[in-house]
Structure 1
């Protein structure tokens, strides 16, 4: 794939319905600070297997990735897409989810990675056009940027105004859609008021939304994990035709990531201005009537803007954009999760599994993940803000993985016991916080904060600060265990760290030699995965009946499962194509460096302007 397709696919895989709903909702709730989340081998578990030997770490990383897919990606994207459809056509939440699954499932099952990447490219164009049009219409409606900044801080719901003894701002939206009687419970008098620092990205250390210390340190950890080790992202980068195209694709994605502040967050803030009594509701009873949640209704900011502001034809366009973004994200996740399960888990359980079995197992594993994700949707719905939910779960589980990968890449003394120590210690602490917060609900505005130790602990440590603590703990345990045990053998270091990345291991790949890890002779893991991927590309024609003699219904089953009916290429040719060089031409290195400098300057300007 060329760099344009790679960059578009990276952006489309990242920007899904969770961003349209979550970012716009977070912007409506607390302003532009949420934009800091946007300015920022074949499977990654296979890398750890090659770096440390054995299969335990590979299993752990594969299961952890699938766990995060369920609780932060699939369930959140399905819920976000269902919100939009529910707001548009008023159908049952789970019926909307089924419709979305059918559409995205067809793309995944009938396509494959190539189809997914081309779909991402087309949908990126759709998303940009639709979101840009809505942004222009929204700014015109509110009177421009300066007017938006002024009016946002005045967007206080009328129920809160009544409690504070202020005059009601009667507008068409409030009069027609929100004929609520004056509230009598004064405990909600401070609810629904816009944050005074809504136009700043750097906020105080004790800020409840995004403290600057968490943004600088905690967010860096989460972003390194996501953009450098997440299988969905890495798989798109590895699909590039060479290293230069991979770099340029990443830079293009970085440039596109500057857009959500304007395309999603500012429109979300405008939605709160125009529909403050619904999007910015401060009374739990009113919020329940508006969106079915008592905590907040900011997640409906973008759908409400689309449905109330745009003409009929444009509404259909934006619905298509939302479905396209959801399909893009889900197809990426389904494709990557299938690869993770089959190559890193199932192939270890059944080493001699044929390509047909791996394909079918991949489809079944995807269905299981979808089922668990749907069951988790009520928990996602109970959160006050979708995007903060996604980032908090990531902060509880991703830092140990980030620490392990960074130490594996930059410290050659880091060994397998150290990696186990870092991952397991971080997992235990992270799961305690994750379960703790899932069980103990956060108090909403106007309700008692409670006196329990659990609730006080959860509210006192921001999830981004917790991410820093967890990263430091995992790194320390990994370092302490590594220096207390034997160093890793040279076979697990050469060519697998940043400092030895140019060391040639082609001879080992071509000869299929064994490597020694922890005293045990094992087949070269890189060779094993290259041959596995070559097998996935070819049909085992020796044991399969010919195409002419295969029943018609079996042809349909094979087509749905993605099983080829004819060998495409020689096995060694496939292996040779899968082995890419990281050498670059000097002119291309200079080009990528210039592009990186331009992107860095653009990001620095945005940080400085909105700090």
Structure 2
């Protein structure tokens, strides 16, 4: 998958990534809806799912242990604040997930690149709102089908005995990662099963193409251009393609590490890693927008301090590992008692404090760099020094690439086949049409880099924004009210345990 995706990204670039992502969006949405409908038909509806999930207990349990029993708060989204009681404390979720969300939705190149590709500010905001509404769907098309899968396959998906888990899915920790594929393979007919295979492969390829393209852009424009400030577009294109190949190699080497450290719950593993790496970026991004006194030194040392602290926690997590449910937790206090979301909150504010101190102790940023780069200067129409430099550089490249008038009438030298293949692979195009497109794009950029919006566009977009906030609030409230009391859950589970022959659990 990594190799095939890299070929797609190498040859197609950002345009291919966006077009394929759009197509894959409809494939994933349509296929997932089929799984949801089929799953609810099998369990008898949402109300039955709520009850049956709580008694989805595997036949083989560990004596005198509640490991393997569905949690009492399984249907409660915002859970107890005490991390020793809850696996996701509500203050930790609200305060710790916020930095990760700011990082992903506001600073991750994969997302930002799509907003910057919009035709106008209104298009960018409208696309963002559509993505927000779409992001509500995973609860219904991924989470609930996963819970349905545990109801239908309690022995496989809910396994707790390490040997049983390994027999079912090749992991000693858990088989939660197999919940969705298991449901697809067992309950869908062959034709629909093929569609769902496309859905899962589309989800993987969509992420990988976006990451490869965005990472190569960052490396080329920020790192390579720093060491090679006069590098031309042709050189930058080649460097970006080569960097993608390097990323593929690193990704393949990282696969065994993921398999060993994700503990049978890949999504949780992703959130944990984000909690250690994202808060410093979110903190610096927020301060840079809302505090004009922030300077480069403050941002750099804030990021570095946050990065070091986050990496120390991540290294400790990798070294000690999470003990099994039935094992005693002898890890250090920092890991065992401080939930990773609480740690993300602390990491965010550590970065903020370091950035403020360093910024105040060093020289402020030049005034021209603040033009249109903070929330309070976004409407400033003054000319930036770097805008002039970029415009001059682009014009010089165009002049150097444009043939002389005397050459236009001459017969064109035929391009050999290997030159054409080389140009196609690395995205080089020196045709007159390509030069005209570059000139038109620069003119278009001048037009769209202002923040002008029509009145009706503002009203419509703000109305949609308010509506999505209301919908999200309603969903959080509804799914944070537990439909069962603790005693009701235990009573249901006692009856199921007695059926399975266990009388020494939940006595």
TM-score under structure 1 normalisation? 0.73
Equivalence for 2:423: 558
**Aligned counterparts of 2:358 and 2:237: Cα–Cα separation in 1:** 39
Query: Which residue, out of 132, 137, 142, partners 1:254?
Result: 132
Query: Which residue, out of 271, 279, 290, partners 2:157?
Result: 279
Classify 1:348/1:199 alpha carbon distance in 2 versus 1 (closer, same or farther; 3 Å).
same
Matched, 1:306 2:171: no
Query: Which residue, out of 355, 374, 377, partners 2:233?
Result: 355
Equivalence for 2:454: 585
Equivalence for 1:387: 267
Secondary structure of the residue aligned to 1:277 is helix
Query: Which residue, out of 367, 374, 377, partners 1:490?
Result: 367
Conserved in 2, the CA contact under 8 Å of 1:413 and 1:488? yes
Offset from partner CA, 1:17-53 (integer Å, 9 cap, x none): xxxxxxxxxxxxxxxxxxxxxxxxxxxxxxxxxxxxx
Count of paired positions: 468
**Aligned counterparts of 2:177 and 2:395: Cα–Cα separation in 1:** 45
**Aligned counterparts of 1:534 and 1:333: Cα–Cα separation in 2:** 31
Matched, 1:203 2:203: no
Classify 1:533/1:154 alpha carbon distance in 2 versus 1 (closer, same or farther; 3 Å).
farther
Unaligned runs of 5+ in 1: 1-99, 164-185, 509-513, 515-523
Conserved in 2, the CA contact under 8 Å of 1:530 and 1:578? no
Secondary structure of the residue aligned to 1:443 is coil
Give the RMSD, CA atoms, in angstroms: 2.3
Classify 1:536/1:214 alpha carbon distance in 2 versus 1 (closer, same or farther; 3 Å).
farther
TM-score under structure 2 normalisation? 0.88
Query: Which residue, out of 454, 458, 463, partners 1:594?
Result: 463
Equivalence for 1:442: 322
Equivalent residues in 2 for 1:83-482, closer than 5 Å: 100-160=1-61, 163=62, 186=63, 189-207=65-83, 208-382=86-260, 383-384=262-263, 385-450=265-330, 452-453=331-332, 456-482=333-359
**Aligned counterparts of 2:220 and 2:396: Cα–Cα separation in 1:** 12
Deviation of 1:190 after TM superposition, in Å, equals: 2.1
Determine which structure has more spread, i.e. the larger CA radius of gyration.
Answer: 2
Query: Which residue, out of 532, 545, 569, partners 2:435?
Result: 569
Equivalence for 2:381: 504
**Aligned counterparts of 1:531 and 1:340: Cα–Cα separation in 2:** 22
Deviation of 1:557 after TM superposition, in Å, equals: 1.7
Deviation of 1:529 after TM superposition, in Å, equals: 5.3
Equivalence for 1:36: none
Deviation of 1:483 after TM superposition, in Å, equals: 2.0
Classify 1:211/1:527 alpha carbon distance in 2 versus 1 (closer, same or farther; 3 Å).
farther
Conserved in 2, the CA contact under 8 Å of 1:205 and 1:211? yes
Deviation of 1:127 after TM superposition, in Å, equals: 0.6
**Aligned counterparts of 1:537 and 1:279: Cα–Cα separation in 2:** 60
Unaligned runs of 5+ in 2: 481-507
**Aligned counterparts of 2:390 and 2:46: Cα–Cα separation in 1:** 53
Deviation of 1:354 after TM superposition, in Å, equals: 2.5
**Aligned counterparts of 1:201 and 1:566: Cα–Cα separation in 2:** 56
**Aligned counterparts of 2:281 and 2:412: Cα–Cα separation in 1:** 45
